[in-house]
Amino acid sequence: MKFINRKNELDAIKAKLNGPDLDLYVIYGRRRIGKTTLALASVKGKEYIYYLATEENNLKKLKDVASRVEPRIKYVEADLEAIFNFLKDKIIIIDEFPNLIRENPKVVSKLQRIVDVLLANTKTKLILLGSSISMMESQVLSYHAPLYGRKTGQLKLRAMKFAELTDFFPGSTTEERIEIYGFSDGIPYYLTKINYPFWEWLDAELKKVDTFLKSEIDFIMKYEFSDVKTYKKILDAIASGHTKLGEIRDHIGAKGTDISPYLRNLIDVELVERKTPLIDTMKSRRGRYYISDNFVNFWFRFINPNITFIEEAIFSATEIKVVYNRYLGHVFEKVCREFLIEKQDSLPFRIQKIGGQWGAIPKHEKGRNQYEIDIVTLDEESKEIGFFECKYSTLKFKVALDILAELKIKSGYVDWNTSKRKEHFGVIAKKIADKERLRKEGYFVFDFDDF
């Protein structure tokens, strides 16, 4: 995979590698996030041992790989301690470390003894990589894990921010990058697969006999879950717009069944997030479930329902494009939140908390008694609150003014420091006519020209 950006992460790892002491560095994050590429970029120009753990025979395979750097290892038994005895002061990268744990759960305790005794007072640099977030956190990083207290650094690698897509697609427009982001999120593997222009590439990819799009979700999920079928049903329900617990349960035909453990597992591996209204606590009963990864959401919205047509190479990207703007509405909200956070130094109010807000409208008939605001920002200290609507469309002046007027009405339903708060109102869209005129009236108005 081509290495782009990640400068801060790269500098952090290099600082450890250049240090004089023993280091145990842990890098983890979902599959396709770029862990291997980052680790290998950090050791470029240095001698190192890189081992990708598999499902079985890992000690023999590790011995074979390590013996290429240290030939004496050929003559020792396939034992972790015997191998590491010849790797003192070297850089060792073990990729997909959870596979070693699955094969032999005692490997973590063995590695602890190696770090404590065999490698003590050496300059060895051991880097452990893992795609199973749940296993890395419970078996490697947890307070109860044998390696707790031994690591000298850890890095949870996350998706690239939307703003960083410029590095992947220089010369592209904001709208083009949002279209790409709706497909790829900030996942480097997908970003580096895409050729520009996006729609031409996607159409060609959909027609490939061996397109990765057909099997990608199974590849991601089989690594974390045994009951993939049920998890896929839940993700399909959420992607279809069923975001409440009861709605999801009914949609998958699991009435009377507690699906909460499945949802918790999906949250743990960061495929799903549970959102509550911003002014509520996380225990709020008004929580909703959303797919947190744009690629996974895209797959369940557009690939999964059309998999038969894709198999027959008769599905066109045009069929996605005609409804894509509607799909991008939720994606655009995500982009707008990031935009406001990055722009807050130039805003006259501070953003301590940011999120969506929804709830009931008092004394209104059923069907008209709910409100929703795309983005609300809070500053608990100054008691300032911002209300923003995100519209993935071009707005005429009058339309933008109407949106702001309705936003003011909805803000009245938000019960937060009602008598002493200072309010701000804004709208973010593709293009807004007479933007400066709205700004002179005190509104915070942004469009693609501001991105």
- Specify the pLDDT at position 2: 64
pLDDT tens digit string along 398-435?
A: 999 999 999 999 999 999 999 999 999 999 999 999 99
Q: Give the C-alpha separation, 16 to 153, whole Å.
A: 8
Q: How many domains does the chain have?
A: 3
Residue 407 lies in a domain: yes
Does 282 score more than 90 pLDDT? no
Which SS3 state, helix, strand or coil, does residue 128 take? strand
Which SS3 state, helix, strand or coil, does residue 222 take? coil
pLDDT tens digit string along 94-135?
A: 999 999 999 999 999 999 999 999 999 999 999 999 999 999
pLDDT tens digit string along 331-351?
A: 999 999 999 999 999 999 999
Q: Are residues 86 and 183 in the same domain?
A: no
pLDDT tens digit string along 143-183?
A: 999 999 999 999 999 999 999 999 999 999 999 999 999 99
Does 3 score more than 80 pLDDT? no
Helix (H) or strand (E) holding 413: none
Which SS3 state, helix, strand or coil, does residue 223 take? coil
Cβ-count burial 216-247 (b if 16+ within 10 Å, e if not): bbeebbebbbeeeeebbbbbbbbbeebbebeb
Q: Which of 132, 156, 180 is the last residue of a domain?
A: 156
Q: What is the CATH number of the domain that holds 233?
A: 1.10.10.10
Residue 2 lies in a domain: no
Residue 379 lies in a domain: yes
Radius of gyration of the chain (CA): 25
- Specify the pLDDT at position 4: 77
Among 241, 211, 224, CA closest to 301: 241
- What confidence category does residue 1 fall into, taking pLDDT thresholds of 50, 70 and 90? low
Q: Are residues 22 and 141 in the same domain?
A: yes
pLDDT tens digit string along 227-265?
A: 999 999 999 999 999 999 999 999 999 887 899 999 999
Q: What is the CATH number of the domain that holds 117?
A: 3.40.50.300
Q: Are residues 40 and 151 in the same domain?
A: yes
Q: How many residues does the chain have?
A: 451
Torsions phi, psi of 424, nearest 5?
-130, 145
- Specify the pLDDT at position 152: 94
**Average pLDDT of span 32-46:** 96
Q: What is the reported pTM?
A: 0.93
Q: Give the C-alpha separation, 253 to 257, whole Å.
A: 9
Q: What residues are paired with 126 via a beta bridge?
A: 24, 92
Q: Are residues 104 and 53 in the same domain?
A: yes
**Average pLDDT of span 268-291:** 93
Q: Are residues 277 and 351 in the same domain?
A: no
Residue 412 lies in a domain: yes
Q: Are residues 173 and 302 in the same domain?
A: yes
Q: Are residues 297 and 226 in the same domain?
A: yes
Q: Which of 329, 356, 387 is the last residue of a domain?
A: 329
Q: Are residues 85 and 130 in the same domain?
A: yes
Structural domain for 443, as ranges: 347-450
